[in-house]
A and B are shown apart, each in its own frame.
Chain A
């Protein structure tokens, strides 16, 4: 597998988008920045992939046209929080096959006015028919019940999840792009309004508008780059009949580590999909970061809260914001930025990074998961 991330681009996250902002302009801005950062021009781009909930009725071809791109490889990806990993998997295969040499992958959404409410109400037909009429607005109640199961399975308390939210907020204080940067205290976390017992406000992501993009290239051409050592996906791993506390990451992690020929202890930067703190825990366990029979609570205190294991160094979606389908690209962009040495005040020392994607709640929890292992090449 020889493909490299050569550029990362951003469209600023914002809680209150300007009236003239569009989904297309968000994707274009992030895309243009990624192309420039890769040292390329739009004419060099011969592959293009898009993940967005709010681009409709447009698709990847409409967006390619608007961005002046003529390509030989094109894809729309509708896998939400797993979309970036899913697109990367296809892009790497396209580069391996010689189909394309420089692929631009963009993800982003405009969450203005009614966009978030209507997105969660009609997320899919199962949601529209069986959840929204309960009534239920969005997946908080589902992940509250998943969190309860995990608390019982792993012996966790609210304070353990609070340590994750607080640690991510500390990272966010070093990220000028995060929408929430001010420190979060345990008291604030524990006394915030209940959303769905046991979830409180700071367990839930703030919806934002914005996006991210990466360029995946066949050759880094002598520039700093991030090599893709392994990238795999899992879809509908358990038919929604399990507890949800193990994700599809558990199915693919062993293969990914073997393919990358490294172990979790070699990794210096981790981005796990954080729609809720419980999912951070779930995916770190699935990836193998928590030793068997080791206390999960101790792992959270010793590795995450201490920040000795850099997890979600952008602040994650919990502090930086969730920009719709860009939620899946968020951790990939952050990890690539770190491995490119361009993370500013929050820069960590790392040669290897791992990224997960997770998403698309079919009925009870997310059905899509991705795992990507990356290496800095300088």
Chain B
């Protein structure tokens, strides 16, 4: 569970999706910070019934996620990189390893 947010090793700035250089300090070394949950900023229901949301992670950056059920702005969702969702969770696809 939870998702990795890229963190600049030099200045601590957070990014998602990952960057090659830190926008704030230009650093090129990064670590990861685990985001466990976030607050829904906006959500939209698609014609197939799925719910896509913009979520402000507890680490900072926005992520685009698929929620398990309809959500409203202000709702808190738990973030996961697994597409099989439990109630209250939202799926954020992460970059495949070695790509």
Contact = CB atoms under 8 A, between A and B. Distances in A.
Interface of A: 125-126, 129-136, 140-142, 144-145, 148-149, 193-199, 239-241, 363-364
Given A364-B54, A364-B64, A144 B44 contact: yes
A131 B93 contact: yes
**6 shortest A-B CB distances, which residue pairs?**
A133-B93, A145-B42, A144-B44, A141-B52, A129-B95, A134-B66
A130 B64 contact: yes
B25 interface: no
Given A133-B83, A241-B62, A141 B46 contact: yes
Contacts of A194: 45, 47
B17 interface: yes
B1 interface: no
19 contacts: A129-B94, A129-B95, A130-B93, A134-B64, A136-B66, A140-B46, A144-B52, A145-B54, A148-B44, A149-B42, A194-B45, A196-B44, A196-B52, A198-B44, A199-B44, A239-B23, A241-B62, A364-B54, A364-B64
Contacts of A134: 50, 52, 64-66, 91, 93
B17 A145 contact: no
Nearest to A136: B52
B42 A148 contact: yes
B64 to A, nearest CB: 6
A197 B45 CA distance: 6
Interface in B22-57: 23, 41-47, 50, 52-54
B87 interface: no
Interface string B50-78: 10111000000111111000000000000
Interface of B: 17, 23, 41-47, 50, 52-54, 61-66, 83, 91-96, 99
B44 A141 contact: yes
A115 B43 CA distance: 28
Given A239-B23, A241-B62, A197 B44 contact: yes
A198 B43 CA distance: 10
Determine chain B's interface SS by DSSP, over half rule: strand
Given A134-B65, A141-B64, 14 more contacts: A129-B96, A130-B94, A133-B93, A134-B52, A134-B93, A136-B52, A144-B44, A144-B52, A145-B44, A196-B47, A197-B45, A199-B44, A241-B62, A364-B62
B97 to A, nearest CB: 11
B54 to A, nearest CB: 5
A139 to B, nearest CB: 10
Given A148-B42, A149-B42, A363 B64 contact: yes
B44 to A, nearest CB: 4
Contacts of B43: 145
Contacts of B65: 134
B10 to A, nearest CB: 18
Nearest to B42: A145
A142 B46 CA distance: 11
A196 B44 CA distance: 6
Contacts of A145: 41-44, 52-54
Contact of A193 (B47, B66, B83, B91): B47
Nearest to B15: A239
A142 B45 CA distance: 11
A304 B97 CA distance: 49
B52 A130 contact: no
Contacts of B63: 130
A34 to B, nearest CB: 38
Contacts of B95: 129-130
A145 B54 CA distance: 8
Contacts of B41: 145
B45 A129 contact: no
Contacts of B91: 134
Contacts of B54: 145, 364
A131 B95 CA distance: 10
Contacts of A131: 64, 93
A13 B35 CA distance: 46
A236 B86 CA distance: 36
Nearest to A133: B93
Contacts of B50: 134-135
